[in-house]
C-alpha cells in the first residue's frame, strides 16, 4: 500500500459557542485555528493527523507540503522509516514548524495502519493498561470552572497571573492566593485544581506563588518559569515545595525532554502530540519518563484528531495522569462524522479501527483560517513580558 498524497487543511475552530464557558482572561473565548493533515493511499485507505498551533498553522501547512515528497510513493506501513526520514533529512531539524508537520503526518500513518489491520491504534502500541482516559479543562474564573464541572470535567486548570497584559509582579502572589482560595471553596474537594503559569515568572517569584497556594492541595503547577533554560528549575526543586511541577508543552522530541527527565527537574511532563513528534515520539518520551517515576499529562488544547491520537497513547502508557481538553466548542463535534463522546469527564477506550475519528471536509471548507492576534504582555513600565 503506497502513499499517494499528503494534504494539509486549515480550519477555524470557532469561538461563538464557548461564550458560556469563557471568561475575560482565559483563551477559550479567543478562538483558534486547527491544522489537519490527510494522508491518502493507492488502496483507498486514508488517515488523519493534526498539527494545530494557533497562529502558525499556515507555516506548518507549508512544512507539510515540503515534507510530503519524501514519503509519497513509499509504503504507508513503514511508519518508523518515515519518521526517521522526516526528522533526519531536514538538516536544520527540530523546531515547532517542522516538528508539527512531522507529528501530524505520523498520526495519520498510525491511523492508516490501524484501519488496514482492523484494530484501534492503541492495540498496535501494546494494548490498553486502563479502561478510560480522564480529561480536564481550563477555567479563568469561578463561574467558568463551575460550568465546566457541570459539563462533566473533574479537573480544572486555571492561570497563575491576574491578567494577560500590563502586569505587575507585586500583585501576582496575593491575587493568586485569593483566586485559588475562591476556586477551592467553590468546587468539590473531589475536583482537582491545577495552575498554568505560562512560563511567566522568575524562579524566585514562582517559588512565592507556589508557597502561597500549597494549602489548597493543587494537583500541579505548570510552567512556573520560561522554558528556555530548564536548569533554572533546580532552584524550585531546592526550595522544598510540596506541589508537583509540570512542564514540557514547548519541548520537542526526546532530546528536548531529556534534561527535564534525566535531571528530574519536574514531576510531570506535558508533551504535545501535535509538536513533540506525534504518536511515535510521545510513546518514547513517556517510556523515558517512566524510568524516573515521572507522570505524563499531555498538553492538548487542540482539535478532535489530536484528542483522538492522545487517547490511544494515554490508553497504552502506564504513567499517564490526565489529558488536557479544549473547551466545549460546537465545531469540535461538527467537524467529526461521528463525534467522540466524553462521559463524566473521561473518554472510554476507542473501538473503531485506526484513530477512530473521521472529518467532514465540507465543514473544514466552510470555516477557513482566521488571523488571531498574539497575546502581547507588558510590565507596568512598558517592558515586554512573557505572555
Q: Which residues are catalytic?
A: 198, 299
Question: Is the separation of the CB atoms in 79 and 280 below 8 Å?
Answer: yes
- Rounded distance, CA 307 to CA 309, Å? 5
Question: Is the separation of the CB atoms in 296 and 284 below 8 Å?
Answer: no
Q: Which residues on neighbouring strands pair with residue 221, listed in sequence order? A: 195, 245
CA distances from 253 to 29, 60, 94, 135, 275 (A): 30, 17, 8, 23, 8
Question: Is the separation of the CB atoms in 237 and 208 below 8 Å?
Answer: no
The bridge status of strand 46-50 relative to strand 33-41 is antiparallel
- Rounded distance, CA 185 to CA 93, Å? 47
Question: Is the separation of the CB atoms in 139 and 158 below 8 Å?
Answer: yes
Q: What is the DSSP string of 362-379?
A: HHHHHS-----PPP-EEB
Cα–chain center distance at 128: 21
Question: Is the separation of the CB atoms in 89 and 66 below 8 Å?
Answer: no
Angle formed at CA 145 by CA 144 and CA 146, multiple of 5 degrees: 90
Joined together, the cell numbers standing for residue 238 give 531546592
Handedness of CA 137, 357, 351, 309 (dihedral sign): negative
* DSSP-derived secondary structure letter, 367: S
Joined together, the cell numbers standing for residue 272 give 504535545
| Closest by Cα among 216, 179, 296 to 249 | 296
| Closest by Cα among 10, 8, 85, 1 to 370 | 10
Question: Is the separation of the CB atoms in 171 and 229 below 8 Å?
Answer: no
- Rounded distance, CA 3 to CA 268, Å? 37
Amino acid at each position: 500500500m503506497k502513499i499517494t498524497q499528503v494534504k494539509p487543511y486549515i480550519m477555524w475552530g470557532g469561538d461563538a459557542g464557548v461564550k458560556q464557558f469563557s471568561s475575560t482572561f482565559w483563551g477559550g473565548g479567543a478562538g483558534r485555528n486547527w491544522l489537519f493533515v490527510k494522508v491518502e493511499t493507492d488502496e483507498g485507505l486514508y488517515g488523519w493527523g493534526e498539527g494545530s498551533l494557533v497562529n502558525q498553522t499556515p507555516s506548518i501547512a507549508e512544512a507539510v507540503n515540503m515534507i510530503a515528497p519524501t514519503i509519497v510513493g513509499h509504503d504507508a506501513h513503514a511508519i518508523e522509516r518515515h519518521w526517521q526520514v522526516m526528522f533526519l533529512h531536514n538538516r536544520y531539524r527540530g523546531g515547532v514548524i517542522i516538528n508539527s508537520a512531522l507529528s501530524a503526518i505520523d498520526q495519520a500513518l498510525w491511523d492508516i495502519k490501524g484501519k488496514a489491520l482492523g484494530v484501534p491504534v492503541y492495540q498496535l502500541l501494546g494494548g490498553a493498561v486502563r479502561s478510560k482516559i480522564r480529561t480536564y479543562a481550563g477555567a479563568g474564573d469561578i463561574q467558568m470552572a463551575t460550568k465546566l464541572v457541570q459539563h462533566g470535567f473533574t479537573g480544572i486548570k486555571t492561570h497563575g497571573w491576574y491578567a494577560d497584559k500590563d502586569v505587575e509582579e507585586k500583585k501576582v502572589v496575593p491575587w493568586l492566593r485569593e483566586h485559588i482560595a475562591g476556586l477551592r471553596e467553590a468546587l468539590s474537594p473531589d475536583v482537582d485544581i491545577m495552575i498554568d503559569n505560562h512560563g511567566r515568572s522568575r524562579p524566585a517569584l514562582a517559588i512565592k506563588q507556589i508557597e502561597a497556594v500549597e494549602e489548597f492541595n493543587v494537583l500541579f503547577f505548570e510552567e512556573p518559569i520560561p522554558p528556555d533554560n530548564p536548569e533554572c528549575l533546580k532552584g524550585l526543586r531546592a526550595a522544598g515545595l510540596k506541589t508537583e511541577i509540570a512542564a514540557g508543552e514547548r519541548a520537542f522530541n526526546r532530546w528536548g525532554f531529556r534534561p527535564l527527565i534525566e535531571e528530574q527537574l519536574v514531576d510531570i511532563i506535558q508533551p504535545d502530540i501535535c509538536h513533540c513528534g506525534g504518536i511515535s515520539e510521545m510513546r518514547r518520551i513517556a517510556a523515558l519518563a517512566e524510568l524516573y517515576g515521572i507522570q505524563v499529562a499531555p498538553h492538548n488544547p487542540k482539535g478532535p484528531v489530536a484528542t483522538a491520537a492522545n487517547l490511544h497513547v494515554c490508553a497504552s502508557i502506564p504513567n499517564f495522569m490526565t489529558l488536557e481538553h479544549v473547551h466545549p466548542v460546537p465545531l469540535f463535534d461538527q467537524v467529526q462524522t461521528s463525534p467522540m463522546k466524553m462521559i463524566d469527564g473521561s473518554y472510554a477506550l476507542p473501538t473503531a479501527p485506526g484513530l477512530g475519528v473521521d472529518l467532514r471536509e465540507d465543514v473544514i471548507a466552510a470555516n477557513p483560517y482566521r488571523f488571531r492576534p498574539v497575546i502581547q504582555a507588558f510590565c507596568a513600565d512598558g517592558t515586554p513580558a512573557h505572555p
